[in-house]
């Protein structure tokens, strides 16, 4: 049995695990859902039959049960050699992944004001794993870290400066682990080094963000203080006029209701009135459902506007990359977005686009396109496993 690396991704009522071997080949995955509720359950990989968890199972109980299942199935004979945790907000403290100790835990706690829905649950995953594997080096990998290279002009909001000084109000950016992986892959596919690669990376999943990467580092990104800013997403509105808050208050809407609406009832779901799922929206639009067509149009136009804006942040451009569930799978969304960007000289090959670039190293642009356009499947879990293994190997006594 080989050494393993465990990747832990904790949501408010869910726990995702991925198990890698020491050559970073994925061996297994598991997902526990509805934690804290009577009908908590888990699933291994793509197996249909759910695994039962104790009613009201906590993150810690779910972790224990799933590790036990990995052991029973012969996937894990002893403690992993490294554990990597996805942590949403690292504030300005973390510019890179960090080996977890008491001071790192305190710093993650201190960033919780910036991500009250995420950092505390990320910490509960860390605590559960530390108590299960007290002697294993554990690493926190932050969604924000890759964007700590943003220049001031890109991260400052034009608001009273004291808000930044006193409360940390600035743009942080998210999906950093995905964008960091994409630039490494883009460099490989374009036969360049990451440090000389400049791309615009569009991560389009349930959450969506675009990042300008110049010479391997993030120089602008569409998400801000929170993951609500920027593009139209599954249920998140993305950019709205800040005057909207005052207007809604005048209509009697409380701040927490506005927050909930913009985060959970906006985006594709809000516009279509039907679903946050892009695949379903495309089907509805094809059957003449006007609000679904509007949702797709607003999604693609906002995305094109942001890609256009990101052109101001790169001096040279080696390519535009689509990733995430929508970016990787929807030829239609890629085409409609690029159609809005003709002025910049982007042009797709219909054939390559329809085949996801699978026989051309991810490339989907036509011969006349001014810039390469690529489809690259993202792999945040692999990135976290890689960072965790690297830090564990550099740890004395590991």
Q: Which residues are catalytic?
A: 143
Cα 184 from chain centre: 16
* Minimum CB distance to ligand AMP, residue 322 (Å): 11
- 57: phi then psi, degrees, rounded to nearest 5: -50, 135
Question: What part of residues 240-279 is at the interface with ligand AMP (CB under 6 A)?
Answer: 277-279
Does 279 belong to an annotated binding site?
yes
Q: Is 325 in the site for ligand AMP (CB under 6 A)?
A: yes
| Residue among 234, 266, 267, 270 that touches ligand AMP (CB under 6 A) | 234
User: Per CB under 6 A, which region of 48-56, 131-139, 152-160, 319-327 contacts ligand AMP?
Assistant: 319-327
Query: At 374, which helix (H) or strand (E)?
Result: strand 373-375
Check residue 148 and report its DSSP letter: G
Residue 111 C-beta-side C-alpha neighbours within 13 Å: 26
- CA dist list (Å): 251 to 239, 247, 248, 255, 257: 20, 7, 5, 12, 12
Three-class HEC string of 260-294: HHHHHCCHHHHHHCCCCCHHHHHHHHHCCCHHHHH
Selection from 179, 255, 192 nearest residue 222 by Cα: 179
Residue 173 in contact with ligand AMP, rule: CB under 6 A: no
**311 annotated to bind ligand:** no
86 is an annotated ligand-binding site residue? yes
Q: How far is Cα 36 from Cα 47, in angstroms, rounded to an integer?
A: 23
Q: Does 238 bind ligand AMP (CB under 6 A)?
A: no
Report the residue from 27, 329, 336, 354 that binds ligand AMP according to the rule CB under 6 A.
329
Residue from 4, 198, 221, 330 touching ligand AMP (CB under 6 A): that is 330
For residues 81 and 129, the answer to whether their CB atoms sit within 8 Å is no
**Rounded distance between C-alpha atoms, residue 5 and residue 38, angstroms:** 31
- Determine if 340 is a binding residue for ligand AMP (CB under 6 A): no
Residue 260 or 279: the one with the smaller Cβ distance to ligand AMP is: 279
Q: Smallest distance, Å, CB 328 to ligand AMP?
A: 7
Interface characters, 133-152, with ligand AMP (x: CB under 6 A): --------------------
Site size for ligand AMP (CB under 6 A): 12
Name the site residues for ligand AMP (rule: CB under 6 A).
Answer: 205-206, 234, 277-279, 282, 324-326, 329-330
Q: Which residues are annotated as a binding site?
A: 9, 16, 86, 203-207, 277-279, 325-329, 380
């Amino acid at each position: 049995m080989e050494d393993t690396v465990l990747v832990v991704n904790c949501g408010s009522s869910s726990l995702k695990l991925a198990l890698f071997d020491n050559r970073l080949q994925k061996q297994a995955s598991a997902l526990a859902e509805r934690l804290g509720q009577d009908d908590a359950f888990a699933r291994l990989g793509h197996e249909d039959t759910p695994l039962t968890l104790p009613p009201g199972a906590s993150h810690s109980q779910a972790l224990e049960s799933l590790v036990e299942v990995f052991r029973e199935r012969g996937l894990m004979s002893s403690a992993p050699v490294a554990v990597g945790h996805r942590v949403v907000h690292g504030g300005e403290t973390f510019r890179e992944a960090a080996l977890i100790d008491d001071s790192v835990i305190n710093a993650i706690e201190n960033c919780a004001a910036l991500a009250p829905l995420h950092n505390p649950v990320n910490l509960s995953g860390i605590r559960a794993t530390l108590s299960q594997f007290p002697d294993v080096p554990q690493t926190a990998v932050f969604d924000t870290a890759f964007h700590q290279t943003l220049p001031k002009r890109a991260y400052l909001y034009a608001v009273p400066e004291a808000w930044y000084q006193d409360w940390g109000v600035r743009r942080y950016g998210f999906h950093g682990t995905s964008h960091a992986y994409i630039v490494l892959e883009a460099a490989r596919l374009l036969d360049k080094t990451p440090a000389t690669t400049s791309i615009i990376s569009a991560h389009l999943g349930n959450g969506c963000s675009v990042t300008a990467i110049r010479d391997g580092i993030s120089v602008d990104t569409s998400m801000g203080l929170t993951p609500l800013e920027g593009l139209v997403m599954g249920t998140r509105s993305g950019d709205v006029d800040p005057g909207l808050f005052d207007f809604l208050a005048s209509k009697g809407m409380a701040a927490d209701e506005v927050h909930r609406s913009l985060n959970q009832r906006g985006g594709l779901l809000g516009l279509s009135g039907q679903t946050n799922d892009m695949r379903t929206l495309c089907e509805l639009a094809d059957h003449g459902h006007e609000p679904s067509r509007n949702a797709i149009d607003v999604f693609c136009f906002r995305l094109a506007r942001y890609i256009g804006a990101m052109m101001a942040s790169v001096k040279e451009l080696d390519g535009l990359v689509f990733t995430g569930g929508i970016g990787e799978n929807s030829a239609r969304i890629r085409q409609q977005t690029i159609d809005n960007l003709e002025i910049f000289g982007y042009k797709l090959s219909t054939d390559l686009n329809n085949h996801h670039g699978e026989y051309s190293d991810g490339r989907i642009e036509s011969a006349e396109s001014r810039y390469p356009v690529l489809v690259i499947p993202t792999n945040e879990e692999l990135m976290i496993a890689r960072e965790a293994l690297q830090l564990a190997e550099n740890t004395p006594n590991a």
